[in-house]
Structure 1
Amino acid sequence: MTGNSSGTSRDEILRRVRGALGRPEGPAAGPAADAAALARDYLSVHAERNARQSADLLADNLADYRAAVHRTDAAGLPGTIARLLTEHGSRRAVVPPGLPPEWLSRVTGVELVPAAREASARELDAVDSVVTGCALAIAETGTIVLDGSPDQGHRRITLVPDHHICVVLAPDQVVDSVPQAMPRLDATRPLTWISGPSATSDIELDRVEGVHGPRTLEVVLVASG
C-alpha cells in the first residue's frame, strides 16, 4: 500500500481498522479514544479465597511449573535457607545488598558473595546459588515477580546462577491474579516475571532446562501470624 493525501500508509491502515470496529474518525480518533472505548468489565480475580487458600493455590501452581516449594514461618526461615543451600551442595551464594541478614544467620560452610552491579556473567557463573526476596507472587498463575529492589538485586544475579532460592512473605506478598498485581508494581522498574525454572523445548518437544535462567527454582513461602 502506498501513502495517500490524508497521511501515511500506517494512518490508512489504522483508519480502516477503526472503521471496521466502529471507532470515531477525525479529531476524536487516536490511541486515547481507542483505549477509552475498550471494555474493561473482565474479572479481576476468578474466585473468592482467604489468605491461606491463596497461598495454597500459589504453591500448587509453582509445583506445576516444577518449582520446589517449601513452607515455613519467620522463625524457621533461616534454618530453611541454610538447609536448601547445603542440600544443593552450594559452596558460594550471591546475596543482594538489602537481603535481611537474619535470613542467612544459620548458613555455614557457604561463602556469601555480595551482589556487585559490575559483576560479569562469567563471575556469576562461578556462583552456585542466589538468595533473594521478591516484589510479589501471583497465585492464579504461579508467578514470582522481581523488581530489582534491594532484597532482590539487579536482574543478572537471578539469571546466571543455576540455583535460585526466592523468599515470598505470605500473605503480604501474595495476590490472587495479574489484575491485582499490576497496581502494586512500578512499571518503571526492571520487572522480571518468573513462572517456574527456566525451560524451553525444541521441535521434538524435548524439554531443556536452564537455557534462560536457573535450572532449579526453590520458593520459600513464609507464613506470618
Structure 2
Amino acid sequence: MTAREIVLGRVRDALALAPRPPVTVERAYRRGRSLSDAERLELFTDRLVDYKAQVRTCTAGDAARVLADVLDGLGARRIGVPAGLDRSWLAGWAGTVVEDRADVPAQSLATLDAVVTASAVSCAETGTIFLDGSADQGRRALSLVPDVHLCVVDLSSVTVGVPEALTRLVPERPTTLISGPSATSDIELERVEGVHGPRTLVVIVRTDV
C-alpha cells in the first residue's frame, strides 16, 4: 500500500465517523424591511453616485426622451441591445441599433458605442443592480464588453436590502451584479477603471412603474 492510499484511507475513515451535517441551515437574515418610494430612490441614488455611476430619473412615458438625451450626450451612434428590449425606449433616438445574438463573437461587442439593457431587480442599500440574462437584459458579455452601459431600472424592482432582492431572483439563471462602473485597485491602491466591465454606467430609474 502506498503512502497516498494510506492517507486517503484515513480520510475516508474519518469522514465515516464524522457527524452528519444538518439537512437545512437556519438563516436569520433580516427580511421584510420597507421604505417609501422616495426613501428607496434617495438611498439607491446615493449609493450609485458614490460608486461613480450617473443616475437619471424619469417617468415611464418620458423614458425614450431621457435615453435619447443620454445617448446623444455620450456621442453614441451605434448601440447594442438584447433581443427582448422594449424598442419604444429608443423611439426618440436616431442612431443605429444592433440586436445582439448568441453567435456574435464577444470581442466584436467592443466596437459598440454603448449598450442599453433592462434589469431584473436592484438593492438600494448596496446600490447593486442584478441582471439575470432575461430577454430584455441579454447575455453577460453584452453588459460587460462595451465601454458604456445604460441600464433601465424600474423603481418598483428596487428592494431595500440584499435578502429581499435575492428572493426575487431565479437561482438557475445566470446573475450579473453591478455596483457602479468597473473599477479595481492595484497593489499600490491606484484605481483603474474598465478592467472587468464598462467604465461608464448610466442608470435610468423609472419612478412610476
> Considering the TM-score relative to the shorter chain, is it more than 0.5?
yes
The reply on whether 1:151 has 2:142 as its aligned counterpart is no
Task: Go from structure 1 to structure 2 and tell me whether the alpha carbon gap of 1:6 and 1:192 turns closer, same or farther (over 3 Å shift).
Answer: closer
> Aligned AA for 1:83?
D
Cα distance per residue 1:119-143 (max 9 Å; x no partner)? 1123111111000000011000100
Quick one: which of 100, 103, 113 aligns to 2:98? 113
Partner of 1:84: helix, strand, or coil?
A: helix
Gaps of 5+ in 2: 1-5
Quick one: which of 165, 181, 191 aligns to 1:181? 165
Quick one: which of 73, 77, 84 aligns to 1:98? 84
CA distance in 2, matches of 1:101, 1:163: 19
Partner of 1:78: helix, strand, or coil?
A: helix
- Quote the residue 2:180 is aligned against: 196
CA distance in 1, matches of 2:52, 2:45: 11
> Aligned AA for 1:164?
H
Count of residues in correspondence between the two structures: 204
Q: CA shift at 1:75, angstroms? A: 1.7
Cα distance per residue 1:36-69 (max 9 Å; x no partner)? 3x4x334226x64112211211111111111111
The reply on whether 1:30 has 2:35 as its aligned counterpart is no
Task: Go from structure 1 to structure 2 and tell me whether the alpha carbon gap of 1:5 and 1:157 turns closer, same or farther (over 3 Å shift).
Answer: closer
CA distance in 1, matches of 2:195, 2:22: 37
Tell me the TM-score normalized by structure 2: 0.90
Cα distance per residue 1:165-219 (max 9 Å; x no partner)? 0000112x11111110111100100100111111110011110100011000000
Quick one: which of 33, 56, 59 aligns to 2:42? 56
Contact 2:34–2:160 under 8 Å retained in 1: no
- Quote the residue 2:150 is aligned against: 165
Q: CA shift at 1:8, angstroms? A: 5.2
CA distance in 2, matches of 1:96, 1:133: 9
Q: Percent identity?
A: 42
Q: CA shift at 1:7, angstroms? A: 2.1
Gaps of 5+ in 1: 16-24
Task: Go from structure 1 to structure 2 and tell me whether the alpha carbon gap of 1:49 and 1:107 turns closer, same or farther (over 3 Å shift).
Answer: same
Quick one: which of 38, 49, 52 aligns to 1:66? 52
CA-based RMSD = 2.0
Partner of 1:76: helix, strand, or coil?
A: helix
CA distance in 1, matches of 2:169, 2:35: 22
Cα distance per residue 1:61-96 (max 9 Å; x no partner)? 111111111011112110111111111111210011
